[in-house]
Structure 1
Amino acid sequence: MHQRPLGRSGLAVSRLALGTMTWGRDTDPDDAADQLKIFLEAGGTLLDTADVYGDGDAESVIGSLLDHLVPRDEVVIATKAGLTPHRYRPRDGSRGNLLRSLDASLRRLGTDYVDLWQVHGYDAQTPFEETLAALDHAVASGRVRYVGVSNFAAWQTARAATWQTAHPGRAPIVAAQMEYSLLERGIEREILPSAAALGFGVLAWSPLGRGVLTGKYRNGRPLDSRAASEHMAPFVRTYLEPRSSSIVEAVVTAASGLGVSPLEVALAWIRDRPGVAAPVLGARTAGQLEGALRSEHLTLPAEIAFALDDVSAIEVGYPERDGASHPHSYYG
């Protein structure tokens, strides 16, 4: 698998990442082991997780697998902190909470450092400087190699990236993990131009439109799908609407013409978008992961990529349209 630098950092990552959101919950340790073996054999290196995935169980599963499947220094572990189960404060970017969460993640992962540590969401109740100082402390202590943010608005991401480069010794923001797919192209308005200007890479979560771009929902909701799952149905329902259906049909048509699966087409499109370091694959089974990894060998013909750009184009108005110096680089 091809490796890419994460933004303008020295951290190299595989251009497909293995997501673990379902590990320890919908994906048991044996199935997770099968996924990891397949991913490693394909040349993958980047494992994405978070302290809240499976209430910490996803990190524990990764830690158990690192014991015997792969040497620690042959994988890039990216985890996150800052979300909480508390209704009164669902995001907590305070220094105390972030550093406690990091120590707990390290214990579960069975390692003394993580390669990429990301703040999982913007916390308006904590001074911005306090949150970012926690990232600096984590890097200075050796527990973290690189830092990033996730699900921040564009102005928040740009502010963090700028603040971190304003003074020598601060840890630069090298990654922003955001939802991005043919069904959700909102980050093209400001996040992607910011990434190009400020030097961070984008990790795209849900690159298959929460599973909808596989085409599995064209004729209903399979009983074994996320849309039929009690806790995942609201997550998928967002994209079960007419606009999404037209995009899915375009992907299916392209896949048929190329002799590949819709999943491969959707992943190849997102993988090669400007500013994207890696899409994060969220497979539930080893079979699903094998299908996704086949996209590594597919490069979309320009005319197909342009057609998909067109059918999924988002409306861009003032001020993004007038303020973009090179709009066609991002808006298709």
Structure 2
Amino acid sequence: MRMLRVWLGQAARSRTLPVVAVFGAISVLLLWLARGGDAYGSNLALNLGSEFVGTLVVIFALTPIIRRAERGRVREHRHLDFGWYIGRVRSAGLSIRILHTFSRLLLPPHDQRFLAAAADLLRRGGTARILLMHPDSVAAAQRTAELAGRGDVAIESRRNLQALDAFERGLDPGLRHRFEVRLYATSASLQVYCWDDRLLASFLPLGRLSGDHAQLEVSEDSPLGGFVTERFEELWDRSMPVDDYWRTTVTIAGDAEQRSYTARFLLVGEQFYLADPEVVAHIARAGAATVRAVLHDAPERSFRVAVLADGDEESAEVQSRYLEKYDHPETVFVRLG
């Protein structure tokens, strides 16, 4: 039943159903006009029988051959047309997947139309998986250098993540499990835009954005499509959930109190900073007692904590970087050292 609903939805959006309805009405009309002819019933049965035989031959003999040829066919696009891809998202019935360092699809003027189409897909029972490059990774800095001034991967990836975070928070709670965002930190050298069993793929060129480069449209069942899909799944399995980019779990322990918090954080080089009023309040309650912190992701290491003094150079830099990451200001930070 789900596949039938998916087909009907795709047919309606592609104007297939109106065409079928028109020709169906014409056929019924012609049969009705011919009802008074000689041997109407036997002639009708003979013609319908021959048509059914021809249909079976097409379905079971020719269709598999055509499908195999279509799967292996590679169609080249001169560039990545985001409006065209949004149209494919609107017609998708099962899933979309995106792999990119950062995507202009998530920036004006395309972002609102794409996110609206993605939301419609989720409401139809489909899924969306988006895999972007971690903005704080070495790979992001390397790709920025390769672009030679054409874009900053860290900045643009953060903008993408802010847009996706706002989109996810605006979804109905029952739809959020169908929408996933993850971050990878290795050099993929590949960009992929999938819808159902079709995809656009391109390698990352030097000195140019991949969207301005030639795109190859193939089926996932083709050799090239299978390679691209396998690469996507490998990166997905080794990537981190986007929630770990926004928040980290930390345990703050003093002489009389120990408690765990899920806090917003910032990583500058090897230095961790936390931005959470409850953590600051915990430190304040400890007074002169020694307070230490343990990160959930690095339980083997214990940090000393200190509240940054507002107005100094370090605090100003942290505030600026925090604003870039979360797109809203914060003034009080805790340094883990």
Q: TM over 0.5: same fold?
A: no
TM-score bracket relative to the smaller structure: under 0.3
Which of the two has higher C-alpha Rg?
Answer: 2
Q: Higher strand share goes to which structure?
A: 2
TM-score of the pair, normalised by structure 2? 0.24
Structure with the greater relative contact order (CA < 8 A, sep ≥ 6): 1 or 2? Answer: 1
Q: Higher helix share goes to which structure?
A: 2
TM-score of the pair, normalised by structure 1? 0.24
